[in-house]
Structure 1
Amino acid sequence: MMEKGVENEKRHSRGSSDPGRRSEGLATAAGGRSLRFDRVELAGAFGDLGTMLPIVIAMILINGLSPTTVFLAFGLFYLLSGFYYGLPVPVQPLKAVGAIAIAYPAIITESVIGASGIIFGALLLVLSLTGLVDRIAKLFSQAVVRGIQLTLGLIFLKKGIELIVSPDLFISGIQGRLAGYPVNLIIGFAVFALILLLLDNRRFPAALAALALGIAAGLALGGLGGRSLSIGPTGMDLIRPSAGDFWTAFIMLILPQIPLTIGNACVGTADTCATLFPKNPLLPKASAGKFALTMGLVNFPAGFFGAVPMCHGTGGLAAHYRFGARTGGAPVMIGFFFVLMALVLGELGFTLLALIPNSVLGVLLVFAGLELCPLLRSLKTNEEYFVALLIAGIALAVPNMAWAFGAGILVDLFIRKVKVRI
């Protein structure tokens, strides 16, 4: 699948010189970069919703966050990423933070979530501006990075399949059966087949077709569920975390998250950019240090308004790429979409996103995982495969992926130091 994606990239690049392709929409950003704004880039823009929406919608519903605050922050961060990097660099919620916040809503309140964003942003700014991120990145060999990517790919596959077979039709928990058959599973099979048929179709992009089918099914199956359809921004408040909020955020949210961020959002994303866009002149910006810088610049102020803490990520990049994104046009388009949804649609926009069935999000996750796993094939020695597979095995057995990354780094250093042969 990765080889197919690279070949599609070549066709995509060749097609951009054709007058017909230019008519679909090219815009030139500062510095002479070309950002494409066509339907294929648009499809790629929505390819990562399977990663984002389950966490974000759950945090809005369970932790009481403002939809406008959350989606405005995501929109502005996506705009920054698209214009600055010129590549389909993703914006995702922090997975460890999201999982813990959803599991302990009585402890992880809006002010604690805000405090975590402030701490997270400040730490990343320090790590980036002092150059420490780039030094830490040297600990992550190719084998360790591929292990991280394989781990995320397998987790995406597992989570995607769980969403497809779930009895709950929507993230809100509503179940659906039709004549005794599980509706969510039926929709999942239909969307999976649809994406396979349209995966390389430029006229009817797969991700857009899947989302359209999902929203239509959600409407038909009563997904509105009496939710608010009001338009206009929801309330936004300045968050003033207490010392206790900062302490709770640091101990419960930041400590488990930082190793994942450095390994995945910084080092992993930089490596995936280099793999997917090997000759792109924009690659020098797509470094671990720069990714830490943009995450810090956005999360620090966003935390004062109670936004969901955000990061980049190798899985999100693979998802955008799998469904057609090749330039910064994709993050710019979805960035504008989220800003519009935050400031104009408000509760209505949130309700429409919540209409997407679990199985549709699950199928998007499955294809994102299938884009990541084959990266393992670039490894050459048994020792490298040993380290990568060890990381994936530990991560699937132990809930905290940071332990897997740490163990993988130590084993990799030991093997190279002692010159072990496997």
Structure 2
Amino acid sequence: MAYSFGSRTDHDLEFSASELTGALGDSVTVLPLLVALGATTSVSLPHVLVGFGVFQIVWGLYYGLPLSVEPMKALLGLAVVGALSYAELAAAGLLAGGVLLAVGRLGLVGRLQRVVGEPVIRGVQLAVALLLLEAAVDLSIGDPPMAVGGLAVVGLLALVGYRQASVLVVLGLGAVAAVAAAGVPTPTLPELAVFPAGSPSFTGAAVEGTVAQLGMTVGNAAIATALLCGDLYDREVSADALSTSMGVTCLAAIPLGGVPMCHGSGGLAGKYAFGARTGGANVLLGIGYLALAPVAAGAVLAAFPMAVLGVLLVVVALELARAAVAAVADRRSLAVVAAVGVAGFAGNVGVAFVLGSVGFRLVSRSAWGASGVGEPDDL
């Protein structure tokens, strides 16, 4: 059985080996970011994992599809590199959730995408990728041999065709090292509380981060994911429905200690590539996250090798940068992506997003107006 917004369908859930491997295909970018976030901020990682576990299951059952439930990478990336505190991250997630719920219910997602312009969204992705690479270098400097060893493992496994699995292998090796240093953790159930890691702080930085994230979310997590549902699964799921479900997720999870979450075309494609065909993959992955939550806090997390996190962030950053550049159709768009990306990296992601959106519309109307290529209304 499965459900989608607007109407119910008769898709069965499966719990096979391919659904399990497909579920793991979605976790390779989630777990490294969450571990890095837990090691660099005051977030409660057990509460975060519970949030991911619950909503993987909820949306897998609701849609009947292996939809991805991922961190909002722009916001988490900014938190990991220190541009946002956890309190500001929570505030930004609530703001983003409220906007996504409103625009989804009002059917405005398509209009927002046309106003922003895809090259600007890709530029924000590139800026976050560059920030993550900078953080990866900072984390790796303390233990170069560990970092080099981790990169060698990733490179070797990638060469033999296990690039995605290499991230889980490196994460597993880091976990073994942490357990060896701190001992086997005692399972502890996360405490049920409102904002267990601190109240949200609605600062200017939180608003700027929200603006930057919404550009990525509208383009990648809503519109691109809706298109992929049709391309890969022959299912019609509207971008506005996905926006609504992301808004519900953020507004429900963050007050209970979660982080900003979204759907994502990359995670959906990853699940499909590794064999997932039904919402059963979400149920399996959700159970895995819930099982991991009780042992994800305390001394083990503190003992996790920072250089290993650096390696994992390199992989995440390169994948994010690759996705940003691969989606560019022409050189003019690539110039916009590069300009927004470099400006966001060197200065401020939110400002780069706003200025890039304005500049993209001006350039589109002047340079591309005659041919219509790149016009925001055509995206």
TM-score normalized by the length of structure 1: 0.69
The aligned counterpart of 1:305 is 256
The aligned counterpart of 2:57 is 79
2:64 is the alignment partner of 1:108: no
Mapped contact 2:123–2:340 kept (Cα < 8 A) = no
The aligned counterpart of 1:70 is 48
The aligned counterpart of 2:99 is 123
The aligned counterpart of 1:136 is 112
State the SS of the aligned residue for 1:237. coil
Among 185, 195, 203, the alignment partner of 2:151 is 185
Among 20, 33, 45, the alignment partner of 1:42 is 20
Among 212, 237, 244, the alignment partner of 1:293 is 244
The aligned counterpart of 1:411 is 363
Supply the distance in 1 between the matched residues of 2:183 and 2:142 (Cα, whole angstroms).
13
The code of the aligned residue for 1:71 comes to L
Q: What whole-Å deviation, never above 9, does each CA across 1:126-176 have from its counterpart, x for those lacking one?
A: 111122223323447xxx548856985x7898789889x96967xxx8736
The code of the aligned residue for 1:292 comes to S
Supply the distance in 2 between the matched residues of 1:304 and 1:117 (Cα, whole angstroms).
10
Supply the distance in 2 between the matched residues of 1:59 and 1:43 (Cα, whole angstroms).
25
Deviation at 1:300, TM superposition (A): 0.9
The aligned counterpart of 2:66 is 88
Q: What whole-Å deviation, never above 9, does each CA across 1:344-365 have from its counterpart, x for those lacking one?
A: 4443898599687654675577
Supply the distance in 2 between the matched residues of 1:351 and 1:35 (Cα, whole angstroms).
34
2:290 is the alignment partner of 1:339: yes
TM-score normalized by the length of structure 2: 0.75
Deviation at 1:398, TM superposition (A): 2.2
The aligned counterpart of 1:32 is 10
State the SS of the aligned residue for 2:29. helix
Distance verdict in 2 for CA 1:187–1:43, change over 3 Å: same
Mapped contact 2:2–2:65 kept (Cα < 8 A) = no
Deviation at 1:115, TM superposition (A): 2.8
Supply the distance in 1 between the matched residues of 2:145 and 2:297 (Cα, whole angstroms).
27
The aligned counterpart of 1:394 is 339
Supply the distance in 1 between the matched residues of 2:15 and 2:321 (Cα, whole angstroms).
25
Deviation at 1:184, TM superposition (A): 1.8
Supply the distance in 2 between the matched residues of 1:89 and 1:47 (Cα, whole angstroms).
12
Report % sequence identity.
24
Supply the distance in 2 between the matched residues of 1:410 and 1:271 (Cα, whole angstroms).
28
The code of the aligned residue for 1:187 comes to V
Supply the distance in 2 between the matched residues of 1:387 and 1:351 (Cα, whole angstroms).
44
- The count of aligned residue pairs is 360
Supply the distance in 2 between the matched residues of 1:224 and 1:410 (Cα, whole angstroms).
57
The aligned counterpart of 2:6 is none
State the SS of the aligned residue for 1:245. coil
Deviation at 1:308, TM superposition (A): 1.0
The aligned counterpart of 2:189 is 233
Distance verdict in 2 for CA 1:39–1:398, change over 3 Å: farther
The code of the aligned residue for 2:155 comes to F
Distance verdict in 2 for CA 1:336–1:229, change over 3 Å: same
Unaligned runs of 5+ in 2: 4-8, 375-379
2:281 is the alignment partner of 1:330: yes
The code of the aligned residue for 1:233 comes to L
State the SS of the aligned residue for 2:13. strand
Deviation at 1:71, TM superposition (A): 0.8
Supply the distance in 1 between the matched residues of 2:303 and 2:53 (Cα, whole angstroms).
15
Deviation at 1:247, TM superposition (A): 4.1
1:210-359 to 2 correspondences below 5 Å? 210=166, 213-214=169-170, 217-218=173-174, 221=177, 224-226=180-182, 229-239=185-195, 245-248=201-204, 250-274=206-230, 276-277=231-232, 280-282=233-235, 284-285=236-237, 287-342=238-293, 344-347=294-297, 351=301, 359=311
